[in-house]
Amino acid sequence: MKKTVTSLADGRELIYYDIADDIVRDAVDRRPLDAVSTSSEVRRDALLGDSVAIASHRQGRTYHPPADECPLCPSEDGRLSEIPDSHYDVAVFENRFPSLAGDAGRCEVVCFTSDHSASFADLTGEQAAVVLEAWTDRTADLAELDQVTQVFCFENRGAEIGVTLGHPHGQVYGYPFVTPRTELMLRSAREHREETGRNLFDDVVARELTDGDRVVLSGEHWVAFVPYAAHWPYEVHLYPRHRVADLRDLGEAARTEFPQIYLELLRRFDRIFGPAEPPTPYISAWHQAPFRVPGREDFALHLELFTIRRTSGKLKFLAGSESGMSAFINDVPPEAAAQRLREVASE
């Protein structure tokens, strides 16, 4: 893989990750762009103890443009986009409308392919491996920034999720704080260590492997299962069998096997509700240990993949209990969800 770092017309960083080592990236962004101006700030909620990003400038971000005006497609035929070159494998750039910026963190866009009509599940294993390398590299680079405490690599797919650009892409957030969900995991891991002397994440994975009912698929280096107390109708957690804190620590064998496992998971998600249904909307989220915090060594890198579609033509909306009290009610038993995901395995 070859990494090429350049800049866009307004000074934002653009990085190409290419399969071929001999490719040359010398295209120049010719757009007359003004310097990016943001109003991002982070405020602390005194009652809940968590942080909220206030980013009013995002009201003007690009919203559902037609395919021939997609800002994530390559620049060609006189149409200029966020990607100056006419083709790319994987491209990452600083978000023009970031939720977090400056001392309040950093936001980046990850374009998985230059093919506008594709999805992550359409990628080859080689292409998916480059995306994994890009996620890992961004984690490593952002870890060096003083204002970044935690790196979150994720993909939102589908209009039902709230995606405003149809091109296959994800994002990387560099938070200036530890996110509430991670705080809860760290607290649970600490309490489990104090009570049992063991690692919580190791025990969770061991339990799922022993029970077996919720395991969706497994390989030599990865295991995917529906969690015992799944919040979402169809939710899968993907863990490396050898616990590591973040993407930087994955071994070569796990990196090699990842595309095969992950692509199969995504393809199964698209088959859950049958061929008559549109592609399954989902969120795919990497959970990584935050930096420079107590208990980091007990955290386990893992990916959580879930959909808000609960059955054919119906979505799982966050109603009073979920939105008002963060108390989830799941209509699909985790064992039934796992069975369905095993039934739709690739032949």
**With 60 as the cut, is the pLDDT of residue 93 above it?**
yes
**Which pLDDT band, with edges at 50, 70 and 90, does 63 fall under?**
low
87 is known to lie in a ligand binding site: no
Lowest mean pLDDT among 29-33, 40-44, 79-83, 170-174: 40-44
Q: Please list the residues that pair with 306 across neighbouring strands.
A: 235, 283
Bigger pLDDT: 304 or 312?
304
**pLDDT category, 58, cuts 50, 70, 90?**
low
Residue pair 334/225 in contact (Cβ under 8 Å)? The answer is no
Task: Give the tens place of pLDDT for each residue, 281-293.
Answer: 999 999 999 999 9
pLDDT value at 56 more than 80: no
What are the C-alpha distances in Å from 326 to residues 104, 231, 282? 26, 10, 20
Q: Is the pTM here over 0.75, yes or no?
A: yes
Domains of the chain, with CATH numbers?
2-175 (3.30.428.10), 180-343 (3.30.428.10)
Please calculate the CA angle 25-87-78 and round it to the nearest 5 degrees: 95
**pLDDT for residue 85 is more than 60:** yes
What per-residue confidence (pLDDT) applies to 68?
A: 83
The confidence band for 98, taking pLDDT boundaries of 50, 70 and 90, is: very high
Quick check: 225 pLDDT over 70? yes
Task: Quote the pLDDT of residue 346.
Answer: 87
Mean residue pLDDT of the chain comes to 94
CA atoms within 13 A on the CB side of 62: 15
Nearest CA among 149, 177, 137 for reference residue 50 = 177
Active site residue 169: yes
Beta bridge partners of 302: 287
Question: Could you report the per-residue pLDDT of 106-158, keeping only the tens digit for each?
Answer: 999 999 999 999 999 999 999 999 999 999 999 999 999 999 999 999 999 99
pLDDT for 276: 82
Is the confidence at residue 64, as pLDDT, over 80? no
Q: Exactly one of 57, 64, 87, 169 is catalytic; name it.
A: 169
Give how far the C-alpha of residue 120 lies from the chain's centroid of Cα atoms, to the nearest Å: 11
Q: Is 73 annotated as a binding residue?
A: yes
- CB-count burial class (<10 Å; 0-12, 13-18, 19+) for 243: middle
Where are the strands (E) in 158-288, listed by range? Answer: 169-175, 215-218, 222-225, 234-240, 282-287
Q: Is 111 annotated as a binding residue?
A: no
CA distance 16 to 85: 10
Q: Is the pLDDT of residue 60 over 60?
A: no
Other Cβ atoms closer than 10 A to 276:
7
Pairing between β-strand 234-240 and β-strand 215-218 as defined by DSSP bridges: unpaired
Instruction: Judge whether 70 is annotated as a binding position.
Output: yes
Task: Average the pLDDT over 97-101 and give the result.
Answer: 91
Percent of the chain scored above 90 by pLDDT?
Answer: 85
